[in-house]
Structure 1
Amino acid sequence: MSDEVSRAAPAGGRPVRSWRVSPNLALDRLVAERRAAGEPLVHLGFGEARLPVLPELVERLTSGAGRTGYGEVAGDAAVRRSGAAYFARRGLPTGPEQVVLAPGSKPLLMALFAAVDGDVLLPNPSWVTYAPQAELFGRRVHRVPIPDRWGGVPDPEALRAVLRDLRRADGRRRVGTLVLTVPDNPTGTTAPPDLVREVCEVARGEGVTVLSDEIYRDLPHSPGRPFLSPASVAPEHTVVLTGLSKSLALGGWRIGLARFPDSARGRRLRDRVLSVASEVWSTPSGPMQEVAAYALAEPPPVRERMAASARLHGVVATAVHDIMVAHGARCRAPSAGFYVYPDFEPLREDLARHGIRDSASLAEHLLKQAGVAVLGGHHFGDSAGALRFRAATSMLYGENARQQTAALDSPDPLRLPWIADQLRTLDAAFGALAPPGGRTRSRHREAT
């Protein structure tokens, strides 16, 4: 499953990473190839929302098709006003000058890693892209464990300990960035306000820039769940990142945006990011700005679609979580987005009989023996010896727009045949890992 193409060091520098395709994209390609060859697979390895496009967005894309000229690097005034209003409705008063649009949030992240000097702190585990992007700019990455109940935000005491250790090792070395993911990928959880507040106060005291990745914010499983953006705690230190790839399933359209602090520090950072942007992507796509201006204004069709999506994500993610737990895994209960991150450590002795001793061999066994594709925890910075992986539950909704629409509209999507069949496959696959006497009967096995 390797997509490595070279191990040569960049010209004039030390090697900072292996040159390879991002593991989630490599796995998605592998699954597509095997399915094309006729192999039936349950795909839980790729973080795609996997839902049909909202017709109103297609209309905006069509109406913007004539926008073929270059525009402002940050995006035109209309889309930045719409983005500012989007943040303001979430309790973050924002002016259009604080908003930058880009072809996806990944380019914005990369520009920010380029723009902020110093080392990078990441919750461990965290999304597969953060560390490679930081390392491409020669940034040293330090991983900080997350608490037992939530991901996306490091344990505050562990964060303080890492900062103390770094100061002892080299008092002149600077930590520039702390990345937080609220809600989180890979765990599918949302850190509570008290934890966000404590971690942000630590970062604030150190003068660290917080990158708050909030791309799953609009997909809470329970409406009204308490949510605190780091930008509310440390407004002068926090850049908020989001986009439309998850909330409106527009991953292939590439629409991302950032909110910069309304301060001299924030303006300097925005100018640096725009400098990078001007040399890399020049300007956001004109047709996509048309889509974004409409979507970020959140008219009723957009609000209704996001609410339906969040409900579906919650139902299916909870079902997959329950299967994992029923077969012996420890797993944080998902609260937003469409991921679960089970830990099969309680079954280590049983898994060893299958030749499974780490996250890589666990993922390989599931793919080869059970036809289930997952992304091993080691890709997220987790301990290679741990028995953890990320499962993207949104891949279960259907293979075409008709099935996916039915899943969105169904009062009980778990009873739809194509979803129920895949859940039964998962139930059998994970049941085969557990000792027969230790299995818990699940509703999915009873339905067979």
Structure 2
Amino acid sequence: MRRTDPEGHGPVRYGPPLPDDGLPVLPELADRVAAAAGRAEAEPAGGGTALREAACGWFGRRALPALPDRVAAAPGANALLVALTAALGGDVLVPRPCAAWWAPYARLLGRPVFHVATPAECGGVPDPYALLETVRRVRDEGGDPRLLVLSVADDPTGTVAPPEVLHEAVEAAAGEGLHLVSDETWRDTLHRPHGTVLLSPAEMLPERVTVVADLAGALLPAGWPAAIARFPAGDPGAALHARVLDILTALGARVAAPVAAAAGHALTEPAAVTERRAAAVRLHARVAAAVHAVVVGAGALARPPQAGRHLYADLGPLRPALTGRGVGDAQELEDFLTDRLGMPAPGGHRFGDDLGALRVRLSTGPLLGATDAERAECLTSPVPLELPHVHRALITLRSVFDDLRDDAQRWEPPR
């Protein structure tokens, strides 16, 4: 079975960072960093006691009880995934599309990576039948699939996997003896928290799931790298935890002490942190809904965003117009939209999608303004979409997509 090696068109091996929230740093967290700036001692590999206990509390409030000796922290989820991939060995399975940073770390370790199609309902989890077929084919060709990485609240698609879809995927993975890494970075960014059911694979298969969450998803600025992991109970989980700590130690992958202080405080979820998070989620949900309306109004395809600060658009229906503008693949689409919109618009090839497919991830953070003052105003305004700087950004977005729609209609053959 052919492996999904990077294409030779454009810098696809290392993809874009997590979508930034575009907002000023919460003063309470900045104060924590400043107060810890004088600490000379380093955090231990895997995180100090205070940080790990705070992480246990965070997991516990999400129906994922944890003990400090089964939790680890690292400077970003990428370090945790590198350590987990190295510790587990074997081949790696990921959905198509998937977060841009998943596959490169497996390839860095020389691990084959195989993409699996996702169901129609959502991204982030593999279609169970496609997963079973992929595992069978890999094994028939001498491969050794051991690890499946998935995300219930997904980057890049912005969707949330329905529990029944997730259950079928987890059941298929368990039947094949795979270990699962559940990336739950975006679980606290649900646009309709009371109307969307989010379950973790660790609730369904506690003995074979390691949960990873990058705190840049909902708690910390992206420039303060910190992430946490929860390992399964039992002897295999203990052995995996120990091996991951060995690898983090060898890599020197320690959370910086000032960042650890802010992360530990944020993980306890004091009022200021939860209020900021809720306000940011509401803001990005509104902007994402507006972006989605623009995209589908122009004739492109996109699932309604349910979480995060992004959505995933398929501009295939607009291909005639794009071809006329010299755009024939995802790299060229990325270049075209980045230039026209004045904001990053990474193509689907960066997320493991086909280079020839005209798909792109659009983020909401860049639409909130150019200065901290403009972005902060978005948080407090009852009508953020009507603020002049946000309105101008949406007008630009609509103009670009409407032009493509009009050109595509001109290229349609008469009926």
- TM-score for the superposition, normalised by structure 2: 0.92
Further displaced range: 307-316 or 392-401: 392-401
Which residue among 125, 142, 163 is the counterpart of 1:193?
163
Corresponding residue for 1:108? 80
Corresponding residue for 1:22? 14
| TM alignment of 1:262-341, pairs within 5 A | 262-281=233-252, 283-341=254-312
How far off is 1:283 after superposition?
Answer: 3.1
Is residue 190 of structure 2 the alignment partner of residue 220 of structure 1?
yes
| Alignment partners' CA distance in 1, 2:409 and 2:341 | 20
Corresponding residue for 2:363? 392
For this pair of structures, how many residues does the alignment match? 403
Task: For structure 2, list consecutive stretches of 5 or more residues without a partner in the other structure.
Answer: 411-415
Task: For structure 1, list consecutive stretches of 5 or more residues without a partner in the other structure.
Answer: 1-14, 26-45, 440-448
Corresponding residue for 1:68? 40
Which residue among 248, 253, 256 is the counterpart of 2:227?
256
- Contact 1:48 1:249 (8 Å CA) reproduced: no
Is residue 380 of structure 2 the alignment partner of residue 380 of structure 1?
no
| Alignment partners' CA distance in 2, 1:167 and 1:285 | 41
- TM-score for the superposition, normalised by structure 1: 0.86
| Alignment partners' CA distance in 2, 1:282 and 1:350 | 47
Corresponding residue for 2:413? none
How far off is 1:290 after superposition?
Answer: 1.3
How far off is 1:339 after superposition?
Answer: 0.9
Matched to 2:286, the amino acid is V
Which whole-Å deviations, capped at 9, do the CAs of 1:37-56 have from their partners, x for residues lacking one?
xxxxxxxxx72121111111
Which residue among 123, 138, 156 is the counterpart of 2:128?
156
Q: Alpha carbons of 1:324 and 1:135: their partners in 2 closer, same or farther (altered >3 Å)?
A: same
Is residue 151 of structure 2 the alignment partner of residue 181 of structure 1?
yes
Which residue among 172, 181, 195 is the counterpart of 1:202?
172
- Contact 2:330 2:356 (8 Å CA) reproduced: yes
| Alignment partners' CA distance in 1, 2:105 and 2:253 | 20
Matched to 2:155, the amino acid is N
Is residue 54 of structure 2 the alignment partner of residue 82 of structure 1?
yes
Which whole-Å deviations, capped at 9, do the CAs of 1:278-323 have from their partners, x for residues lacking one?
1112532222221112110101111111111111111011111110
Is residue 67 of structure 2 the alignment partner of residue 92 of structure 1?
no
| Alignment partners' CA distance in 2, 1:249 and 1:278 | 24
- Contact 2:225 2:255 (8 Å CA) reproduced: no
Is residue 347 of structure 2 the alignment partner of residue 342 of structure 1?
no
- Contact 2:13 2:104 (8 Å CA) reproduced: no
- Contact 1:134 1:141 (8 Å CA) reproduced: yes
Is residue 41 of structure 2 the alignment partner of residue 49 of structure 1?
no
| Equivalent position SS for 1:166 | helix
How far off is 1:352 after superposition?
Answer: 2.0
Corresponding residue for 2:385? 414
Determine what percentage of the aligned residue pairs are the same residue.
Answer: 41
Matched to 2:42, the amino acid is Y
How far off is 1:168 after superposition?
Answer: 2.5
| Equivalent position SS for 2:301 | coil
| Alignment partners' CA distance in 1, 2:44 and 2:130 | 42
How far off is 1:16 after superposition?
Answer: 9.0
Corresponding residue for 1:355? 326
